[in-house]
Structure 1
Amino acid sequence: MVNFSVNEELCVLCGLCAQDCFYGIIELDEYPGIIDEDRCFKCQHCLAVCPTGAISILGNSPEDSTPLKGKFPAEDSMATLIKGRRSVRKYKPDPVEPERIQKLLDTAWHAPTGVNSRSVHITLMDDPESVQKFKDEVYERLEEAMAENPPEIPSVANLFKMICKRMKEEGHDILFCGAPHFLLVSAPESAPSRTADMTIFLSYFELMAQTMKIGTLWNGLLRRVIESILPDLQDRLGIPADHELGYAMLFGNPAVKYQRTIERGSALVRRVEWK
């Protein structure tokens, strides 16, 4: 059941809900109604587009939503956010408050997914003590793996040997950067656009984090360790066996403050015409 309902006192019969329905399953029969609930893919566009707030669906009502008028960031502010975000590799030890982490996750959860599958699986380690124990085990086992069964690609093996050596001799934490929290995203292999969905989720997560003054780092090194060097960690982390591992992201209160955007010049674009 999608629980589609119309407040008849507010509905002005404009038909926008029907026009914006991707599958065309909303019809105006005196008032709007869904003719085939099985084809609804729960995008909630009907709720979002209604100018008078007359439509509720999936247990959600307009009163639970945020009006958009005047709330979007100005284009220059958005450009500064995108150009000003940085990969943070130094973190303060104090953790981010649980309610702020939840707000960050709940906001990023609104990222789009292919056919609205909502199949991204988030594995979160937000307890700094657990992160420390996990980190200690990873470094210990990674050093053993590099000695006993290093990756076949020499450059990869040399990279992880260097990472272990710097941690052991200098205490330089390249893998976790001292971050108090991290998350991993995965998705079922059956998901129609799993790779894009996971990347989009983390992109939204990162940009929201920047607005909250929370630092982030896309961590391909940690992903490589968990996926191929110490693969048993996936099961111990609770990542389902039929999932593709997407990426890891560190986050926490940054110990470095950037003062300005960087500039990368104009986009490289190949414009084409079709005749």
Structure 2
Amino acid sequence: MKNNLAKFCFDKDKCIACGKCIKVCPGQLLKFNENKDVIIKDIDCFGWDGCWKCQHCMAVCPKSAISVLGKSPEECVTPPESENLPQILDALIKNRRSHRQYLNKDVDKRVLDDILKTVQNAPNGGNKGLVEYTVIDDKEQVKYFHDIVYSKMEKLANKGIYANGYDKKSYEQLKEWEKIVRPDMLFCSAPNLCIPHAPVGEGCYIQDVNIACVYFDLLCSSRGLGSIMMTYPLDVLDLMPKEKSMLGIPDNHYIAMIIGFGYPKIKYKRGVDKFNENKIKKLKFKI
């Protein structure tokens, strides 16, 4: 092949010519040649008109005969075989809570690095992988940023200027909650912050960012961390462009929420069931 931009490699000795890699390639780049070897079309780009970087071809091969993008089957993760997986995932989702009180300590860097590595496998439109993650993993840095924003927020409130959707009454209610339920109305005392974001107008940027937030949140829960998905701080930061720019996020990037996370001060003992049959609408068409 003339242009193997995707670094596609095929091992003829392992291949059984099942054709699964050809069937799952979203860009329809693969085919058999006259010798039943799997070959890839010449491409000069990644994306819609080239390789999608999805690695479907390598993931589906039953004989580990394909490598792509400089990665090999040996680097892949095998599917878990536990019969208890449905129960484990159900329990994870049902036990996930919004935490508003945390221990004053940073999340272990190895744990956070593992989360950030895994979350980039979250589904995204066209597999473009445009979501970026701005992370503050130092509680002192979070406190520094918090104090600047909080002080400005109070000065604006004294002038009758509140975040979008809030007024004097609701602002004072948040302040009241700080005495018991929410010690910090801005970041809920979270020692670390994560902000997924993506360029506006590219790919499915709104859906991609929201999905990334949910995946990050669940990954935190799976590791015993508390987390909370917050929109109020974003509304506050919209009132103060200078302070918002401290995050270093491009102005043309979409942000859905700020995720606070850390080791929870209060641990929950059980998950609850919020199922409501009336919220399920099963469609049936007349055929």
**TM norm structure 2:** 0.88
**Does the 8 Å CA contact 2:103/2:264 hold for their aligned counterparts?**
yes
Q: Pick from 231, 241, 245: which aligns with 2:241?
A: 231
Paired AA for residue 99 in structure 1 = R
- Identify the range of structure 1 (32-41 vs 99-108) with the bigger mean alpha-carbon deviation: 32-41
Partner of 2:270: 260
Matches within 5 A, 1:1-275: 1-29=5-33, 30-37=36-43, 38=45, 39-70=50-81, 74-148=85-159, 150-151=161-162, 155-163=166-174, 172-226=183-237, 228-267=238-277, 268-275=279-286
**Does the 8 Å CA contact 1:93/1:180 hold for their aligned counterparts?**
yes
CA RMSD of aligned residues (A): 2.3
Once the two structures are TM-superposed, the CA of residue 166 in structure 1 deviates from its matched residue by: 6.5
**Does the 8 Å CA contact 1:85/1:210 hold for their aligned counterparts?**
yes
Structure 1 gap ranges (5+): none
Residues 181-223 of structure 1 show CA distances to partners (whole Å, capped at 9, x for unaligned) of: 0111221112221111111111111111111101100111112
Q: State the secondary structure of the residue aligned to 1:187.
A: strand
Q: State the secondary structure of the residue aligned to 1:229.
A: coil
Q: Distance in 1 between matches of 2:228 and 2:199?
A: 24
Q: How many residues align?
A: 274
Paired AA for residue 21 in structure 2 = C
Structure 2 gap ranges (5+): none
Q: Distance in 1 between matches of 2:176 and 2:170?
A: 10
Q: Distance in 1 between matches of 2:166 and 2:89?
A: 38
Paired AA for residue 18 in structure 2 = C
Q: Distance in 2 between matches of 1:265 and 1:154?
A: 29
Change (3 A) 1:184 1:84: same
Q: Distance in 2 between matches of 1:66 and 1:154?
A: 45
**Does the 8 Å CA contact 2:160/2:168 hold for their aligned counterparts?**
no
Q: Distance in 2 between matches of 1:183 and 1:240?
A: 15
**Does the 8 Å CA contact 1:142/1:164 hold for their aligned counterparts?**
no
Q: Distance in 2 between matches of 1:72 and 1:220?
A: 38
**Does the 8 Å CA contact 2:164/2:235 hold for their aligned counterparts?**
no
Structure with more of its chain in helix, by fraction: 1
Q: Distance in 2 between matches of 1:154 and 1:219?
A: 14
**Does the 8 Å CA contact 2:137/2:193 hold for their aligned counterparts?**
yes
Once the two structures are TM-superposed, the CA of residue 23 in structure 1 deviates from its matched residue by: 2.4
**Does the 8 Å CA contact 1:143/1:164 hold for their aligned counterparts?**
no
Once the two structures are TM-superposed, the CA of residue 147 in structure 1 deviates from its matched residue by: 2.1
What's the % identity of the aligned pairs?
Answer: 30
**Does the 8 Å CA contact 2:182/2:188 hold for their aligned counterparts?**
no
